[in-house]
Amino acid sequence: MAWFGGEVLQTRNRVPGEFESLTVGAEAVRLTGDKIKPISGSYTGLSARVALLTLEGADIRFRLDGGQPDANSGHYLTSGDTLVLMETQALEKFQAIRVGEVSGTFQVTYFY
């Protein structure tokens, strides 16, 4: 567990490892496969089980079922919001797209 913004972040005793900044633009994006299942470095052979995502700069829509979101469908997330994804399958199926003309950025920490 870790303290985050006045809330306790439950990570099920996972270790924070990889990090990335991911631009969410006009084309749907996914989390990086080599971050979810690293092929080199300290976490080789492990699968991320939790991801902490904070959104900056723009609003987005996302889906967790493997389907592609668009500007009018998918879950809506506002710039400044935080999203915690649990379990590897949800991380692999996550897709996001911007709403409007401005791209956003996710700051992502993966837990193994």
DSSP 60: E
- Give me the domains of the chain, ranges plus CATH numbers: 15-111 (2.60.120.10)
pLDDT tens-digit readout, 2-44: 444 555 566 667 889 999 999 999 999 999 999 999 999 999 9
Residue 81 confidence (pLDDT):
95
Average pLDDT of the chain, as a whole number? 91
pLDDT at 48 over 70: yes
Which pLDDT belongs to residue 14? 84
Query: Cβ contacts of residue 98 below 8 Å, gap of 6+?
Result: 24, 25, 26, 58, 59, 60, 71, 104
DSSP 69-91: PBTTBSEEE-TT-EEEEESHHHH
Top pLDDT among 78 and 2 is at: 78
Quick one: pLDDT at residue 13?
76
